[in-house]
Structure 1
Amino acid sequence: MNSFTHSINSVNFPFILVTLNIPIHARWENNGLTVAGGHEEGKALNELNLNCPCSLFVDADQRMIIADGGNDRIIRRRMGDTREQVIAGGHGEGNKLSQLNSPSDVLVVQNMNSLIICDRQNRRVLRCYFHSDTISGESLVVNIDWQLSHPEELFSDTLCNIYFVDFLNYRRRKWQRQSSKSIQSS
């Protein structure tokens, strides 16, 4: 089984391992550098027009993946480039697999060439696969009987189980790989 790691300060979670080697006497600039957005909200596909960006993920190829919540899309942009590409959503607000409604988080699964997306207002968690220039998707966790409310904050473990916060139900949920349902996580 392939495993993926995502790390914050070298504490491993599945997906991409990021090791930070920050010298003990490092100094930081007083002003940060804007890498995307920063001007006015908008829908145009360029760095000046994000609308409520909720999540940022940098993949192994140094591409930023941004959950542009107010524009109901996930975009990708190479570091230092000004061109962006819609890789999920972008077809207006809606609940079809080709549409999103306020995505709140995104993770990249490099080895499976896919994204995991918290689609907040649609109350679902999606997996989107990349096949050359096309994207196909599936719902991993959907709002059955209104039991899922505002999924946010994705994580995964070494067994490729997906964890997320079921925000308005005040709980964490776990979607087990090869399963058709999610369970409450302790």
Structure 2
Amino acid sequence: MAEVALILFSWIWSAAFPNDQVRSLLSSEGLRWFFGHFSEILATPLMVNILLMGMAYGCLRRCGVLAYSNTYRERRALLMSLGLLVVYAVALLLLTILPHAVLLSATGHLFPSPFASSLLPVLAFSIVTSSMLYGAVMERIRHIGHVYDSLLDGLRSITPFILFYILFMQIYESIRFVFG
């Protein structure tokens, strides 16, 4: 509704006050912008991070890590998963704290750097792989179909957030176009 109201407002305002800086979304320029930039508006690192963290959440939930009880098999699975996370942490430390580390910026800082840019994707990958290891040891993950199901379960659970993100980004960028 907000997008429709903005379209009508920008059209009426630009027709009533043509010398103002308000651009109409119904003009040729506005329509070209709207159709030409739709994918560009949505293809952001934030969208990728939302998708990756959703998949990681699905793996945590489906593999049973979040429903932990203190049995021998679960302790063993948890220790193996934590061991894998320690290996990831050591690898990241070696790639960032050594002199001339490859994940540091050109000036030698962590922020901004390739490390900072990839922090959430690396976190999601480590959660997915350690959860899958936990699920495999617990025999909740028996074949590749279970892996796909757990990844898709996470995406299903964040669908409302994805829809909100799409609608919010579209109205935000439309407002920037109309008044920018």
Greater strand share, structure number: 1
With the length of structure 1 as denominator, give the TM-score of the two structures.
Answer: 0.23
| More relative contact order, 1 or 2 (CA 8 Å, 6+ apart) | 2
Structure (1 or 2) with the larger CA radius of gyration: 2
TM-score by length of 2: 0.24
